[in-house]
Amino acid sequence: MQELRRVRSGVLGERDNLVTMHDVLDAQWQYDHNKDETYLRRVIYPLEKLLVSHKRLVMKDSAVNAICYGAKIMLPGVLRYEDGIEMNQDIVVITTKGEAICIATALMTTAVISTCDHGVVAKIKRVIMERDTYPRKWGLGPKASQKKMMIQKGLLDKHGKANDSTPSDWKKGYVDYRKREDSDSDAAATPAPSAPSTPSAEDLKKEKKKKKKEKKQKLEEAAAPEPAAETDGEVGESAKKKKKKKKKEVEAEAE
């Protein structure tokens, strides 16, 4: 083997976007002195260039930071989507500016996304964007705001759970979805009872052999006390004979 080279990595080939070190120096000089980015952009490409072959999913700005923190990619947060998305296909989730948020695995096709109004669209595979690049937009709804106010007033504990001073209306009307998810996960963790399978011929033979062995053992156990009883009878008879002999000897001596 003369040489071993990596000629391709993803969508980038060996002869794509080649520049010399002098080009890098010139691009840097142009940016430093003239604030001109055009040469620098010819040398350095953004990360998104590697993901141009993936299907795209455009998210609302309010959902971007939640995804960076690991939230599920839900349908209400989707702004636009590309045609031709298939199940379990790798897609790229982007912002309205075209910045890559994460790589995900599609859980809905384009047809399903267009007909549904709720549900999980994709499962996150790898988050690319840094957290807090976009502002936090969760916890600003009416119920969440009311919950924060109640925590401040002491009507709920610091974790947002009900305590002695919590009003009954809140206990009846509020649904904690995290508890529901935990119960669902516990139910999924417990395996369902398996249906009774029909025993094979070998299993039937083994069962018959076991039954025969058990019967033999029972018969042996039942027969074991009988000889013991016989031996007891023999011992009793021998003792009687000895007594008779002694009596005869005593009578003979007396005569």
pLDDT averaged over every residue in the chain: 84
What is the predicted pLDDT for the residue at 214?
Answer: 86
In this structure, the answer to whether residues 113 and 147 fall within a common structural domain is no
DSSP state of 154: T
Of residues 31 and 192, the one with the higher pLDDT is 31
- Phi, psi (degrees; rounded to nearest 5) at 119: 115, 170
pLDDT of residue 39 exceeding 50, the answer is: yes
CA distance linking residue 74 with residue 216, whole number of Å:
68
In this structure, the answer to whether residues 101 and 158 fall within a common structural domain is no
In a domain, 209, yes or no: no
In this structure, the answer to whether residues 89 and 148 fall within a common structural domain is no
Of residues 238 and 83, the one with the higher pLDDT is 83
Q: Which two tokens stand for residue 65?
A: 């930071």
Q: Which two tokens stand for residue 116?
A: 């549904």
In this structure, the answer to whether residues 115 and 148 fall within a common structural domain is no
Structural domain of 97 = 53-127
In this structure, the answer to whether residues 60 and 27 fall within a common structural domain is no
What is the predicted pLDDT for the residue at 239?
Answer: 72
In a domain, 62, yes or no: yes
In a domain, 60, yes or no: yes
Q: Which two tokens stand for residue 48?
A: 């998104």
Is 125 within 8 Å of 96 (Cβ atoms)? no
Kindly give, in sequence order, each residue whose CB lies less than 8 Å from that of residue 163, ignoring residues fewer than 6 positions away: 155, 156, 157
pLDDT of residue 29 exceeding 90, the answer is: yes
What is the predicted pLDDT for the residue at 229?
Answer: 46
Q: SS3 for 221? A: helix
What is the predicted pLDDT for the residue at 195?
Answer: 47
In this structure, the answer to whether residues 114 and 165 fall within a common structural domain is no
In this structure, the answer to whether residues 58 and 89 fall within a common structural domain is yes
In this structure, the answer to whether residues 61 and 119 fall within a common structural domain is yes
What is the predicted pLDDT for the residue at 246?
Answer: 78
pLDDT of residue 54 exceeding 70, the answer is: yes
What is the predicted pLDDT for the residue at 164?
Answer: 85
In a domain, 162, yes or no: yes
In this structure, the answer to whether residues 91 and 113 fall within a common structural domain is yes
pLDDT of residue 235 exceeding 80, the answer is: no
Is 162 within 8 Å of 179 (Cβ atoms)? no
What is the predicted pLDDT for the residue at 17?
Answer: 85
In a domain, 213, yes or no: no
Please state the domain count of the chain. 3
Q: Which of 110, 160, 163, 102 is nearest to 131 (CA)?
A: 102
Widest Cα–Cα separation across the chain = 154
Q: What CATH number did the domain enclosing 110 receive?
A: 2.30.130.10
Q: How confident is the model at residue 99 (pLDDT cuts 50, 70, 90)?
A: very high
In a domain, 100, yes or no: yes
Kindly give the interhelix angle for 225-254 and 201-223, rounded to the nearest 10 degrees: 10
In a domain, 149, yes or no: yes
What is the predicted pLDDT for the residue at 68?
Answer: 95
CA distance linking residue 244 with residue 38, whole number of Å:
134
Instruction: Indicate the pTM of the whole model.
Output: 0.59
Q: How confident is the model at residue 26 (pLDDT cuts 50, 70, 90)?
A: very high
In this structure, the answer to whether residues 26 and 76 fall within a common structural domain is no
Q: SS3 for 73? A: strand
In this structure, the answer to whether residues 58 and 114 fall within a common structural domain is yes
pLDDT digits (tens, 9 = 90+) for 142-201: 888 888 888 888 888 888 888 888 888 888 888 777 676 666 666 655 555 554 455 566
In a domain, 113, yes or no: yes
CA distance linking residue 59 with residue 67, whole number of Å:
10
In this structure, the answer to whether residues 117 and 64 fall within a common structural domain is yes
